[in-house]
Amino acid sequence: MLLREGLIGLLDRCGHDVVAAVGDAPALLAAVEEHEPDIVVTDVRMPPGFQDEGLHAAVRLREKRPALPVLVLSQYVQRTYAADLLDSGDGSGVGYLLKDRVGQVEEFTAALAEVAAGGTVVDPEVVRQLLRRRRDPLERLTPREREVLALVAEGRSNGSIARALVVSEAAVGKHIGSILTKLDLPPAEETHRRVLAVLAYLRG
């Protein structure tokens, strides 16, 4: 809420007319439908889950209105929807900025103007991570992590993997946590990360 109010004040001082300020993804979709704004500024994380609701909503908005300029602010790079957002529409009028790397007000307002005018503004760190995503994700795993993932793919439980590798179950859990992180599989209610990790292994 503090970030939202701060942005409203900043945009107002810069001469922009803020037609709506909302706190969750469904309200964002409804506000765009009602007001038909010239540009949308959204955070990646929004209620109720505080995961990627805002970014997902941005992708949906661009699917409905491909020419709608959208500027996304984030604390981190959510690679799946980030790629979808940048691929949406004709690729113009879109921006993805990391909050902690926007150092000056002028930098933000310049990015906003660029996106509103149909340009594309993407933080270099976002570009770096998206390029890394295109490589084989299994390359990031250590030999031991690959071994653990291979046993997961066999359908084994953590206890069974621990016995096979002669390690503790806690060690196996730590390896699996590292695997999920390196494969860019954050917690999500609608997906089973262990299954997705196995699918990545099988594709590799």
Rounded CA-CA distance 204/196 in Å is 12
Q: What does the pLDDT average to over 190-202?
A: 79
Instruction: In the chain, list all ranges with CATH 1.10.10.10.
Output: 137-203
Residue 38, both tokens: 């010239």
Indicate where the chain has its CATH 3.40.50.2300 domain(s).
2-133
Structure tokens that stand for 163 in this block: 């016995």
Question: Model-level pTM?
Answer: 0.63
Spell out the long-range contacts of 148-153 with Cβ–Cβ below 8 A and sequence spacing 24 or more.
148/172, 148/175, 148/176, 148/179, 149/179, 149/197, 149/198, 149/201, 150/201, 152/176, 152/194, 152/197, 152/198, 152/201, 153/198, 153/201, 153/202
Pick the CATH number of 2-133 from 3.40.50.2300, 3.40.1010.10, 3.40.50.620, 3.40.47.10: 3.40.50.2300
- Report the CATH number of the 137-203 domain: 1.10.10.10
What pLDDT, in 10s, does the model give residues 36-62? 999 999 998 888 777 788 888 998 999
Structure confidence by residue, pLDDT tens digits, 95-140: 888 887 777 888 889 999 999 998 888 888 777 776 665 556 787 8
